[in-house]
Amino acid sequence: METKTVLDESYTLTDEHISFYQKHRYIKLKNVLDRETLDHFNSVISKRVHELNEEDQPLEARSTYGKAFLQLFNLWTKDEAIKDLIFSKRIAKIAADLMQVNGVRLYHDQALFKEAGGGITPWHADQHYWPLSTDKTITAWIPLQETPLEMGPLEFSAGSHQIMEGRELSISDDSEAQIEKRLKVTDFEHIIEPFDAGEISFHSGWVFHRAGANTTDQMRKVMTIIYMDKDMTLKKPTNPGQENDWETWCPGAKIGEVINTPINPILY
């Protein structure tokens, strides 16, 4: 399949891209995927999400977190076609180069489908949930279609990985209010932009980000891949979310040792 070829071809990152990422801890890159590849994965991922989704509550009956998106994890273990995307050398190499590490392994993947009429994704930092010993983590956020502002694309507080306050907050109304208040008294730029088809963003585990509501009548379909330094070690969990992530996404890993489990393969 030609899609496979594209996923293995190298993407040209410049020194400017890398220094931008190192400073702001996020970057948006255009034309990482071509239209044919994007349409292919839109189709296969949508089908699998539809089959596996168990959310049957109407939007208005759900919590803020539940209204934000349908969330399904580690689809690479359930579908060989999706595994092609998750194991893409092209995307994994971008992740490694942006973080300036020798290689990356998979933490996990997740589909984030924001339904028509779906609510905001509150401000948060992902690494709150991760029992990982360093900040060498990065998420590729891959919209499966063009994503105008009305659909709720990812928004970033550029450079906010420097802020310690708010890191202890889980995604909630509380995190939205408290982190927004904190960010308002800083000089970090709030980036809110649409995504073109084939455009992908990358952000680090400690940079604060959110997404707006989906006010369109279409599903906002996004696939994400979370990478960590291939030499990442497990740290002692400091909250229930990290305890859960250890058991779920790093099963059998030992505190202080490299997270080398069957579901955390080296991707580049």
DSSP state of 35: H
Strand-pairing partners, residue 221, are: 113
Asked if residue 256 is part of any domain, the answer here is: no
Asked if residue 169 is part of any domain, the answer here is: yes
Q: Determine contact, residues 124/226, Cβ cutoff 8 Å.
A: no
3-state secondary structure of 50: helix
Domain region containing 165: 2-249
DSSP string of 180-194? HHHHHTS---EEE--
Asked if residue 254 is part of any domain, the answer here is: no
Question: What gap in Å lies between CA 182 and CA 23, rounded to an integer?
Answer: 20
Q: What is the CATH number of the domain that holds 202?
A: 2.60.120.620
pLDDT in tens, the chain (268 residues): 577 789 999 999 999 999 999 999 999 999 999 999 999 999 999 999 999 999 999 999 999 988 889 999 999 999 999 999 999 999 999 999 999 999 999 999 999 999 999 999 999 999 999 999 999 999 999 999 999 999 999 999 999 999 999 999 999 999 999 999 999 999 999 999 999 999 999 999 999 999 999 999 999 999 999 999 999 999 999 999 999 999 999 999 999 999 999 999 999 9
Asked if residue 30 is part of any domain, the answer here is: yes
Q: For Cα atoms 261, 65, 165, give the angle at the middle one, nearest 5 degrees.
A: 75
Q: Determine contact, residues 109/86, Cβ cutoff 8 Å.
A: yes
Question: What gap in Å lies between CA 239 and CA 29, rounded to an integer?
Answer: 33
**What is the per-residue pLDDT for 11?**
97
**What is the per-residue pLDDT for 67?**
86
33 contacts: CB under 8 Å, gap ≥ 6? 6, 41, 142, 198, 200
Asked if residue 265 is part of any domain, the answer here is: no
Q: Where are the alpha helices (DSSP H) in 100-239?
A: 173-184
**What is the per-residue pLDDT for 129?**
97
Asked if residue 234 is part of any domain, the answer here is: yes
**In total, how many domains does the chain have?**
1
137 phi and psi, to 5 degrees? -130, 150
Asked if residue 262 is part of any domain, the answer here is: no
Asked if residue 257 is part of any domain, the answer here is: no
This prediction has a pTM of 0.97
